[in-house]
Amino acid sequence: MKKIYFLLAVLLTYSGIVWANDLKVRHIRPESAKDLRNHYYIDMLRLALDKTSDMDDSSILVMSEKTMYQKRALEQLKRAQGIDVVWTMTSTKREAELQAVRIPLLKGLLGYRIFIIRKGEEPRFAGIQTLDDLKQLTAGQGRDWPDTQILRANGIKVVDSINYDGLFGMLQYKRFDYFPRGVNEAWAEVKAHPDKNLVVEKTLLLQYPAPIYFFVNKQNNKLADRLERGLRIAIKDGSFEQLFKNHPANKEIFELTKIDKRNIFRLQNPFLPQATPLAEKALWYTAK
């Protein structure tokens, strides 16, 4: 009989059953099969929870049942319906409606924007010398992305869409001229859309302060506190930096992007909340 109980215990341990005291953290799923952006943030979420597992409840990550565009995910989070955490770029509006965990998950790297363009148009962009030159062209962006407002506030023309995956087809069919992407995004996205005849532009870069945080519901202080504690532990012991530099989503970006060899146009971000921890230099990546 004891052997039966022992075998049952082993089976339950490895069967993925969620115990009553497990913290279940529900997060968004990729918007499409080609959407590779979320893997890094899910791994960072897991790291933060693991770093606090000795002092808090055990936890599991659960993907949301349905795919949600960013606007809907934020609305669901605000209502505490079906989702517990979203990772997204901050803005004054978002921090007023949700609780931000103010640790930049990409160390501000999302604000270093390079362009996906149509293959064959490289000389057109290599000839751009000033921001005014760039303003003659039109960018493509997601309708609900803070980047869209930032670009427009700096006088850059933008065509927007609610459909992330559709933006690549819109670029292909010349609905706009270039698609600004985070340096951690562009290379993987071009590879994910081999049929679109797109390339990463090699000479230009936009830069503006753009931290991407974990956001939780305003009332979910327990999760917000745990995520901040976990991330700060990871920063202190070096595991945050290790994940940042070595994650497959980021590993090659510094070599591929060659930031120091690009013509950098620095933009203002008028939507950056006053509470942004710009003075904590350890939280940010700085181009040399």
Domain boundaries, the chain: 2-107+211-251, 109-207
- Helices 239-246, 38-51: crossing angle, 10 deg rounding: 160
Fold matches, 2-107+211-251 and 109-207? yes
**Three-class SS state of 97:** helix
CATH class in words for 2-107+211-251: alpha beta
Distance between CA atoms of 213 and 278, rounded to whole angstroms?
14
Comparing CA positions, the residue from 167, 142, 146, 139 lying closest to residue 34 is 167
pLDDT one digit per residue (tens) for the chain, 288 residues: 444 433 433 333 333 444 446 788 999 887 666 666 688 899 999 999 999 988 887 888 998 887 888 888 999 999 999 899 999 989 999 999 999 999 999 999 889 999 999 999 999 999 999 999 999 999 999 998 889 999 999 999 999 999 999 999 999 999 999 999 988 889 989 999 999 999 999 999 999 988 999 999 999 999 999 999 999 999 999 999 999 998 887 877 778 888 889 999 999 999 899 999 999 999 998 765
Residue 92 CB partners (closer than 8 Å, separation 6+): 271, 272, 273
DSSP 160: E
Alpha helices in 65-121 (DSSP H): 70-78, 92-97
Give the global pTM. 0.75
Bridge partners of 207, per DSSP, are 112, 266
* Tokens standing for residue 214: 């974990």
* 240: CB partners within 8 A, 6+ apart: 44, 47, 231, 234
Q: In this structure, which topology does domain 109-207 adopt according to CATH?
A: D-Maltodextrin-Binding Protein; domain 2 (3.40.190)
